[in-house]
Structure 1
Amino acid sequence: MKIYTKGGDEGNTSFYGGKRVLKNDLFVSAYGDVDELNSSIGITLSYLKNIHLNYGNKWWYRYFTKGKARKNIIKQLEKIQNDLFNIGFELATPLDQVKKKEKTGVFKNFVNDKDIKDLEVAIDSMQETLPPLDNFILPTGILPAAQLQLSRAICRRSERSIVTAAQEAEISKNILVYINRLSDYLFVLARFVHNVFDDKPEKMWDK
């Protein structure tokens, strides 16, 4: 199968079901931002899986690779990538078709209450280990932490795009809840990675 179809050469694309829309359609913009978010998380995943290429025998690298933390983070982020792909697919599917497919059981992978709960459990677990914040922190630190902060910012943009699209047509409420919770997860995970695996304190905003 060819990668290029030439069907979008005039600036339009298809939703699931065949409806043709312009590529600047609000829903196309929304799932485009979700795709960018997913790709940014992929950078963090690649880094964590190949961390030995960057830090060799540093003490925190040994702790990172032998402990459960790295494996748990990788597992969580891989699931999130799959969830985001499902969200993108759902945003590209008219809601009446989503409901129809869910009733017939054809599609069972759209984000649900359990997916949201998984994020909340992970947030609470990491939050218990972190020092309390009494100021804003700057989005910096070791590379995976800084990259997660970038993903958090992209997640917030994705949320804004989805809210804008939702003013034009109804979408599943779970999408909005999931994306909102995901930005919190990415913020806490960035802090967790920095505090556990870096020997320098978080950089605070100098008001």
Structure 2
Amino acid sequence: MKIYTRGGDKGQTRIYADKPVRVSKDDDILSCYGDIDELNSHIGVLISLSDIHQDYLQHIQQHLFQLGYVISATSSLHDNDVTALEQQIDALSNTLPEQTHFILPGGNHAAAQAHVCRTVCRRAERTLVRVARDHDVSAAALAYINRLSDYFFVLARSLNHQANIADVGVPTKA
């Protein structure tokens, strides 16, 4: 497969929806692709930092590619994918102390990277919502990306907890 085609040198590229169409490279659809791709890359960094949860994180990476397909063509994410993610969140949450306050991102390197994944995921979600205004995006895709940021939050807490690093709370106003 050739890496470059010169087809996008003038600021447009081809995407595949119901049929191939050319769109500007600053279109919300391409912004969404980029945000999801960036998230996928950050997950790759997270995988390199921790031996914990690697298989499930790679599973999420596969789902993010499917999410790209959802945006450009047909849906391949379903309600059961959202349910599976919720089960992972619940399983991790059950191993953690109760959260009683907002916490600061950080901790060990892997946990800090999970927080980066969470924030990039939130940006991807905002972009996906913009795309959904004008294009068919499944409810499952929107729910999945929303739940995914929750997963990264709980994963960050779990990685710190396993490393015996306490959450750092945000002080409340007096």
Q: TM-score range by the shorter chain?
A: over 0.9
Cα RMSD between the aligned structures? 1.2
Structure 1 position 144, deviation (Å): 0.4
* 8 A Cα contact 1:113 1:174, kept in partner: yes
Runs of 4+ in 1 over 3 A off after TM superposition: none
1:99-178 matches, cutoff 5 A: 110-178=76-144
**In 1: Cα distance, 2:70 partner to 2:100 partner:** 38
Structure 1 position 206, deviation (Å): 2.7
Structure 2 residue identity aligned to 1:2 = K
**In 2: Cα distance, 1:187 partner to 1:140 partner:** 11
- Provide the TM-score with structure 2 as the length reference: 0.93
Structure 2 residue identity aligned to 1:84 = L
- Residue aligning to 1:11: 11
* 8 A Cα contact 1:31 1:92, kept in partner: no
Larger Rg over CA atoms: 1
**In 1: Cα distance, 2:170 partner to 2:103 partner:** 5
Given candidates 132, 154, 172, the residue that maps to 1:188 is 154
3-state DSSP class of the match of 1:15?
A: strand
Structure 1 residue identity aligned to 2:58 = E
Structure 2 residue identity aligned to 1:83 = H
Given candidates 18, 27, 39, the residue that maps to 2:41 is 39
Structure 1 residue identity aligned to 2:88 = A
**In 1: Cα distance, 2:15 partner to 2:44 partner:** 25
- Residue aligning to 1:28: 30
Structure 1 position 43, deviation (Å): 0.4
- Provide the TM-score with structure 1 as the length reference: 0.79
Structure 1 position 120, deviation (Å): 0.7
Count of aligned pairs between the two proteins: 170
2:43 corresponds to 1:78:
no
**In 2: Cα distance, 1:112 partner to 1:200 partner:** 36
Given candidates 159, 165, 169, the residue that maps to 1:200 is 165
Unaligned runs of 5+ in 2: none
Given candidates 72, 92, 117, the residue that maps to 2:72 is 92
Structure 1 position 122, deviation (Å): 0.7
3-state DSSP class of the match of 2:134?
A: coil
Percent sequence identity is 43
Structure 2 residue identity aligned to 1:188 = V
**In 1: Cα distance, 2:10 partner to 2:116 partner:** 32
